[in-house]
Structure 1
């Protein structure tokens, strides 16, 4: 008793391979096969490389946002209804900092005094956002300690203050000059609080690349800030830098449990929520547009298969006559289309990964071709983000391309399987 061959038997692969490499004179569609292959390859290449650049841009933006800021801020609530009224100041910050520093996932802890004052120099006045911090903690902020451009010596931080480059330009002040700070929150007197005025030498000027930091921020030694703002023995907040900022939400509850009942938190996502949402919307739009591009490229496979089915009508009739089932014929033509889609996907992923890994060479070529330096191009609005390949992006690209290719291949293959052998051989 004869047995039915298993699906995707070797002879089905041999027939499909013969059809794929057949010349047009033999009834094949090798030109359409190549067009389909190249189209899928370029579409997947565009998808993978764009997703890599998108991920690199996201990483660059996050690093820019976090380079001069904490990943998480710990604050205390006021409790004026308690038996002993309590303000918002953190007076046990040494003990709190030690407990937080021992937590898994916490890389650095920095107690801060924060306040807003007026900065004045030779008749020019600007609002200033003051951060009281120790030198060791300030060195942990790379966009400050290792700024794009800097003047002065950060090692002299204990002798003066460090200010943003844009703020220094607006005030017309430089390293060695003395900046006057005016705070309305001075000492208490019978007539109310007095205005407090002090002058500090500017020992370090930095350009972090973040406009809002460079335009308003001033760093002052923690002990001096505590004295100037009446925070003796206390701080306004404790800043945390995490080993993985993207997992900040996972640490919220453990940090709150460690910090106590009066604690509440702000994460970097709370501060940059609008930017994160905008990036997410941009990601979705990019993926949809590129998915349409892949679909258009995959439609070439349908065109090629329809032509192949038409040219191979006589062959289909003969194969059906000698005993091939409809399922076997369907699988033969499905293999033809799916092979093109799979090969194009593989080649596209390889090209996309090569592009992402050599993004610096691509930028160097653009630099050479344009005849301008990268800094000049960036000044004119060009962006040169890094490229980061992630497994999720590659897998989503592969799934999209192969899914579309295999899905649309089914319909012309099904048409070939339903071809009546009598009709196919009637005029032969």
Structure 2
């Protein structure tokens, strides 16, 4: 008794390959095959490239935000219920810096004094958010210390202040000018607290890429900030930087255990929760829209297969009379459609990855076409993010394309398998 051939046997692949490469004179649909292949390739390419640029945008935004801000902050709660009221200041910050800094994921612990004052220069006034910090700690914030558009000398920080570029423009301040800081909580006298006014030389002007930082932030040496804000021997908070900012949520509990009972921790994810949620919603919308493009491209496979089944009716009848089962016929035409979807997906993923890897060259092409540099276009409101390819994005795009192309191929393949061989050969 003859044995039944296994599914997807070699002869099934041979028949499917012959149908795919058949010329029009032989009743094939090679033109539709190429159209389907190109459509799937372009749709998957668009999906992979868009997801890569979106991930690059997210990465750029986070890097820009974290380049000038802490990954996590440790604060102390006020306690007015005790016999002796306790304020929010951290007075044992030297010990706390050593304790928290010993945690394996912590790379930097910066004692910080914060206060809000009024900045003034030649009749111009602006609210200023003062950060009291040491020079060594400030140099670990790349968007401040390594700002591409910075002017001045950060090594002279202990002799003056560092301010944001937008603040400098609004106040009309340049390097070497002296900016006045006016605090309502100043010198304590027998008559009460009088405002404190101090003038500091501007030694460094940075551009972090964040408008609210460049417009309102001023860095003051820690010792001077402690004196200016009456924080002698104390700080307002500890700023932390971690090896992996994305894992900051897992560090909250260890930080609380190391910081004492009155401590609480805020993270960059807490501060940027709205932005992260908005990006996530945008990601979902982009994926859905581009998935529709993949579906439209995959429908071309159905059209091609329907035409192929119609043209190959006589062949189907002959194959059935030779002993091929309905399952074999179904698998032959399934292989025709699935092969196009698989090859299109593969080519699309390759093109998308190549596009992402050469995004700078793409921007160079934009420069050549428009005749303007990227920086000029960015100054006019255009944004050129980097492109980051992740395994998850590629897997999602490839899985979507393969799933759709394989699924919709089943329907015309079933139609071919159910064709009556007698009807197919009646008029032959």
Could you state the TM-score of these two structures normalised by the residue count of structure 2?
0.98
How many Å apart are 1:278 and its aligned residue? Answer: 1.1
User: Partner residue of 1:31?
Assistant: 31
Q: Deviations over 1:38-74 (max 9, x none)?
A: 1001111111111111111110011111111111111
Distance 1:311 1:245 in 2: 59
User: Partner residue of 1:11?
Assistant: 11
Q: Deviations over 1:378-400 (max 9, x none)?
A: 11222111111111111111100
User: Partner residue of 2:427?
Assistant: 427
Please state if 1:101 is matched with 2:98.
no
User: Partner residue of 2:81?
Assistant: 81
Distance 1:6 1:67 in 2: 60
Distance 2:296 2:333 in 1: 20
Q: Matches of residues 44-63 of structure 1 in structure 2 within 5 Å?
A: 44-63=44-63
User: Partner residue of 1:127?
Assistant: 127
Distance 1:331 1:150 in 2: 65
How many Å apart are 1:83 and its aligned residue? Answer: 4.1
Distance 1:122 1:361 in 2: 46
Query: Equivalent residue of 1:186, what SS?
Result: strand
Indicate conservation of the 8 Å contact 1:256/1:263, yes or no: yes
Q: Deviations over 1:188-237 (max 9, x none)?
A: 33332211111111111112221111111110000000011010110000
User: Partner residue of 1:299?
Assistant: 299
Q: Deviations over 1:69-107 (max 9, x none)?
A: 111111000112234431100011111111111112111
User: Partner residue of 1:393?
Assistant: 393
Query: Equivalent residue of 1:367, what SS?
Result: helix
Distance 2:399 2:225 in 1: 56
User: Partner residue of 1:111?
Assistant: 111
Distance 1:357 1:172 in 2: 42
User: Partner residue of 1:155?
Assistant: 155
Please state if 1:215 is matched with 2:218.
no
Structure 1: 5+ residue stretches without partners: none
Indicate conservation of the 8 Å contact 1:112/1:133, yes or no: yes
Please state if 1:230 is matched with 2:230.
yes
Q: Matches of residues 13-412 of structure 1 in structure 2 within 5 Å?
A: 13-412=13-412
Distance 2:186 2:377 in 1: 48
Range with greater deviation from structure 2 (329-338 or 184-193): 184-193
Query: Equivalent residue of 1:388, what SS?
Result: coil
Query: Equivalent residue of 1:114, what SS?
Result: strand
Distance 1:322 1:170 in 2: 87
Structure 2: 5+ residue stretches without partners: none
Indicate conservation of the 8 Å contact 1:151/1:205, yes or no: yes
How many Å apart are 1:180 and its aligned residue? Answer: 1.2
Query: Equivalent residue of 1:125, what SS?
Result: strand
Q: Deviations over 1:237-287 (max 9, x none)?
A: 000011111111111111111112111111111111111111111111110
Distance 2:171 2:73 in 1: 30
Distance 1:94 1:293 in 2: 58
User: Which structure 1 residue ranges, 4+ long, deviate > 3 Å from structure 2?
Assistant: none
Distance 1:218 1:247 in 2: 29
Query: Equivalent residue of 1:274, what SS?
Result: helix
Distance 2:369 2:69 in 1: 37
Indicate conservation of the 8 Å contact 1:148/1:209, yes or no: no
RMSD: 1.0
Distance 1:2 1:112 in 2: 84
Distance 2:153 2:366 in 1: 36
Q: How many pairs does the alignment contain?
A: 428
How many Å apart are 1:375 and its aligned residue? Answer: 1.1
Distance 2:278 2:2 in 1: 63
Distance 1:347 1:165 in 2: 46
Could you state the TM-score of these two structures normalised by the residue count of structure 1?
0.98
